[in-house]
Amino acid sequence: MASDHSGSTATQQSGLVPHDAEEFSFLAGQAERLGAAVPNAERIDVASSAGAVVSAIAYGDAPADIVLLHGAGLNAHTWDATVLSLGEPVLAVDLPGHGDSAWREDADYSPHTIAPAVIGVIEAVASTPVVLVGQSLGGLTAAAVAAARPDLVSRLVLVDITPSIDQGGPEKLRAFYERLEFSSREELVDYAVSFGLGGDRVEARRGVHLNSRVREDGVVEWKHHFATIAAHALDASSSARTIDQAASWRDLETVRAETTLVRGTRGFVDDSAADVFREHIPSASIVALDAPHNVQEVAPRELADVIRKAHS
């Protein structure tokens, strides 16, 4: 049975809303669809060294040695189906500026900037060393964590991301976040589905509920800070983007942990990007799954198999 042990300090941070008392209400339906058991689920808040709250969800009855980091514009609940498919203790982190974690005043959510906050959560809550799994922005952040703290990471799994990601991906995300306000959550569901995000309509509805909020005027908006800065943050023509690519490649080339890249065949990492990744990291394994960018939502069983293999 899911439980919510919310910390009061998180609701006082900039950009946050109170923890959603119904956030675990979707687990039973997902578990039934997947033929899985419903794990205990607990909301945990950890204060970073800077004093900001980083929130995470601990699934299972024991300290987790599998840690999941979501992509930009998502939150820890994007991993729910994968967690159910795994059936093992897991810690899913809301990256800074996302979900129930505090927003940064400088709006800097680059991998090296937010990696220390992730390290703090792993040190405080997880059973180390961990299998660290990151999708999209979470993948590059995971690489930064593994490079900076090799003692904390035993295996690294990147989901549909490389530092030289196909430029079609960022362009698609910029287009998606051109619209930030909606008259209802159902309208937002229609919008997400039209971009091929969030899986089927049932899953898209769940994702929208967990990643949006209704303002006092009735307008529905994204819960995460990233929506308002996505176009600038993903501007591939900027010099900052070039520097970030170089830094992320250095991270991956420094990582000691065994590394696996999971590609979505309909995602952002095309054959060319996969080839470049193989040239940089020849020791890494590359697995292709039939899925779009959000592999964890569309192919959770298959992704769980990959994570389970890395965990064994």
CATH number assigned to the domain comprising residue 83: 3.40.50.1820
Contact (CB, 8 A) for 78 and 120: no
Active-site annotation holder among 20, 45, 65, 160: 160
Q: Is residue 282 part of a domain?
A: yes
Structure tokens at 232: 């600038």
Secondary structure (DSSP) of 193-207: HHTT-SSSHHHHHHH
Q: Which two tokens stand for residue 67?
A: 């840690």
User: Has residue 116 been placed in a domain?
Assistant: yes
What does each of the 312 residues of the chain score in pLDDT, given as a tens digit?
444 333 333 333 334 456 887 899 999 999 999 999 999 999 999 998 778 999 999 999 999 999 999 998 889 999 999 999 999 999 999 999 999 999 898 888 899 999 999 999 999 999 999 999 999 999 999 999 999 999 999 999 999 999 988 544 556 667 787 888 999 999 999 998 888 776 678 878 888 889 988 888 999 988 888 777 764 545 444 333 344 899 999 999 999 999 999 999 999 999 999 999 999 999 999 999 999 899 999 999 999 999 999 998
Active site residue 232: no
Residues 30 and 84 sit within 8 Å (Cβ to Cβ) = yes
Give burial (CB, 10 Å; 0-12/13-18/19+) of 56.
buried
Q: For the whole model, what pTM was predicted?
A: 0.87
Query: CA 271, 277, 278: angle at the middle one, nearest 5?
Result: 90
Backbone angles phi, psi at 155, to 5 degrees: -140, 145
Give the type of residue at 16.
Answer: L
65 is catalytic: no
Q: Tell me, yes or no, whether 246 lies in a domain.
A: yes
Check residue 133 and report its DSSP letter.
Answer: E
In sequence order, the 6+-apart residues with CB closer than 8 A to the CB of 135 are 69, 70, 71, 74, 78, 158, 159, 160, 161, 294, 295, 296
Residue 291: which domain range? Answer: 8-166+241-311
Residue 2: predicted pLDDT: 44
Angle between helical axes of 111-125 and 239-254 (0-180°, round to 10): 40
Half-sphere exposure of 2 (CA within 13 A, CB side): 22
Is residue 150 within 8 A of residue 252, CB to CB? The reply is: no
Active site residue 61: no
Residue 83 lies in a domain: yes
Tokens of 118: 């992730």
Check the CA dihedral 151-157-158-162 and report its sign.
positive
pLDDT value, residue 223? 83
| Number of domain units in the chain | 1
pLDDT at 195: 83
Residue 200 lies in a domain: no
Task: Say if 180 falls within a structural domain.
Answer: no
Q: What is the pLDDT of residue 11?
A: 33
211 falls within a domain: no
Q: Is residue 206 part of a domain?
A: no
Pair 115, 244: CB distance under 8 Å: no
Among candidate residues 48, 110, 136, 154, the one labeled active-site is 136
